[in-house]
Amino acid sequence: MNDFEQLYGRPSEGEWAAPGRVNLIGEHTDYNLGFVLPIALPQTVRAQAARSGDGLLRLWSAQGRELVALPVDDLAPGSVPGWAGYPAGVVWALREAGYPVGGADLRLDSDVPSGAGLSSSAALECVVAAAYNDLYGLGLSAVELAVLAQRAENAFVGVPCGIMDQMASMCCRPGVALFLDSRDLTMRQVPVDLAGAGLALLVLDTRVKHDLGDGAYAALRAGCERAAALLGLPALRSLQPSGLADALAQLPSELVPLVRHVVTENARVEDAVAGLDAGDPAALGPILTAGHASLRDDYRVSCPETDLAVEAAVAAGAHGARMTGGGFGGSVIALVDADAAGHVAAEVTAAFRAAGYAEPRTLTAVPAEGARRLR
Ligand code: GLA
What are the distances in angstroms from CA 333 to CA 80, 167, 281, 346?
33, 20, 14, 14
Expressed in angstroms and rounded, the spacing between residue 164 Cα and the centre of ligand 1 is 6
Residue 44 — φ and ψ, nearest 5°?
-135, 165
150 or 210, which is more confident? 150
Write the pLDDT tens digit of every residue in 165-194: 999 999 999 999 999 999 999 999 999 999
- In tens, the pLDDT along 347-360 reads 999 999 999 999 99
In the chain, the percentage of residues whose pLDDT exceeds 70 is: 98
Which residues on neighbouring strands pair with residue 179, listed in sequence order? Answer: 188
Counts for the chain of helices (H) and strands (E), in that order: 11, 13
Q: Read off the pLDDT band of 316 (50, 70, 90).
A: very high
Q: Which strands make up the sheet holding 35-36, listed edge to edge? A: 35-36, 176-181, 186-191
Q: Which atom of ligand 1 is nearest the CA belonging to 28?
A: 12
Cα–Cα distance measured from residue 258 to residue 264, given in angstroms and rounded to the nearest whole number: 10
pLDDT over 70 at 115, yes or no = yes
pLDDT by residue (tens digit) across 75-89?
999 999 999 999 999
Does 213 have pLDDT greater than 60? no
* Residue 165 designated active-site: yes
Q: Which atom of ligand 1 is nearest to the CA of 153?
A: 8
Q: Kindly state the average pLDDT of the residues 33-62.
A: 98
- pLDDT over 90, % of the chain: 97
Range list of β-strands (E), the chain = 14-23, 35-36, 38-52, 56-61, 66-71, 103-110, 176-181, 186-191, 199-205, 320-324, 331-337, 361-365, 372-373
Nearest-CA residue for atom 5 of ligand 1: 326
Q: Is 327 in the pocket of ligand 1 (CB under 6 A)?
A: no
Residue 143 and residue 129: Cα distance in Å, rounded? 11
Average pLDDT over residues 364-374: 97
Neighbour order of strands in the sheet with 199-205: 320-324, 331-337, 199-205, 361-365
φ and ψ at residue 247, rounded to 5 degrees = -65, -45
The response to whether residue 265 sits with its C-beta less than 6 Å from ligand 1 reads: no
Query: Is the beta carbon of 326 within 6 A of some atom in ligand 1?
Result: yes
31 ligand 1 Cβ < 6 A: yes
Ligand 1 near 8 CB (within 6 A): no
| pLDDT, tens only, 143-167 | 999 999 999 999 999 999 999 999 9
Closest by Cα among 298, 296, 297, 289 to 268: 289
Q: Is the pLDDT of residue 1 over 60?
A: no
Strand partners, 61: 66, 108
> Which residue of the set 165, 184, 271, 297 is catalytic?
165
Nearest-atom number in ligand 1 for the CA of 326 is 11
Q: Which amino acid is at 140?
A: L
